């Protein structure tokens, strides 16, 4: 499935008209990730990172289409005290995300962004830190595919340097068991990028 989606991503880029202005770039930045839903109210966010490649295809002076291929470290954490010991647990979910963003330029350089995202789970671990030691184990029964909706804004300088802020609202249930419980990803991202 991952190979099919990657091939589709490349095909979209490959079918761009030769006359369209296309810019290739890189981006990276900070993730403030969380997990929302049933029985996860006490979880805190996980601060992590993302990085990847982007292509901006200019459709008109005001509109652009921007597909991306981004590694994103997501999840949640929890800290608590048990019998005088500080314990920190972290749910580490690593994804290969493919956002497909529509960009509307409000003014020169400043854009509003909206688009769907599909994410493929690369790894899922549960880590416990206790008294200076840490242990981790794989998390089972999580969906391998995650769908979301991105909303954000960006600013691009003529030099190619650009900044962005985006929120990814998870739409699909991560719980892959027969349970009626629903848990979803939520990620706020701040990015720095450069178009070549």
Read off the CATH number of the domain in which 66 is found.
2.40.160
Residue 139 lies in a domain: no
Could you say which DSSP state residue 82 is in? E
Residue 136 lies in a domain: no
Mean pLDDT per 10-residue segment, the chain (196 residues): 59 54 96 88 89 97 97 92 81 97 97 98 93 86 95 97 97 86 94 97
Q: Which helix (H) or strand (E) holds 18?
A: none
Q: Which of 110, 122, 119, 98 is nearest to 13 (CA)?
A: 98
Domain count, the chain: 1
- Give me the domain span that covers residue 31: 2-14+21-74+95-124+144-195
Please check whether residue 192 is in contact with residue 159, taking contact to mean a CB–CB distance below 8 angstroms: no
Longest dimension (CA), the chain: 67
pLDDT of the residue at 86:
83
Cα 114 from Cα 8, distance rounded (Å) = 20
Residue 137 lies in a domain: no
pLDDT of the residue at 17:
46
Whole-structure pTM over 0.75, yes or no? yes
- Phi, psi at 31, each rounded to 5°: -110, 135
Distances (CA, A) of 137 to 37, 89, 91: 22, 12, 10
């Amino acid at each position: 499935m991952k190979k099919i989606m990657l091939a589709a991503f490349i095909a979209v880029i490959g079918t761009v008209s030769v006359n369209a202005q296309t810019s290739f770039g890189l981006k990276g930045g900070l993730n403030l990730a969380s997990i929302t839903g049933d029985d996860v109210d006490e979880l805190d966010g996980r601060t992590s990172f993302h990085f990847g490649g982007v292509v901006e295809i200019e459709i008109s002076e005001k509109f652009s289409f921007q597909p991306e291929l981004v590694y994103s470290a997501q999840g949640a954490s929890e800290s608590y005290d048990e019998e005088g010991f500080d314990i920190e647990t972290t749910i580490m979910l690593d994804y290969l995300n493919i956002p497909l963003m529509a960009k509307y330029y409000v003014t020169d350089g400043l854009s509003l962004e909206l688009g769907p995202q599909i994410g493929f789970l690369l790894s899922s671990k549960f880590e416990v830190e206790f008294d200076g030691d840490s242990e981790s184990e794989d998390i089972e029964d999580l969906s391998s595919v995650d769908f979301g909706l991105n909303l954000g804004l960006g600013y691009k300088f003529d030099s190619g340097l650009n900044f962005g802020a985006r929120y990814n609202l998870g739409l699909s249930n991560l719980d892959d068991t027969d349970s009626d419980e629903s848990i979803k990803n939520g990620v706020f991202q701040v990015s720095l990028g450069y178009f070549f």
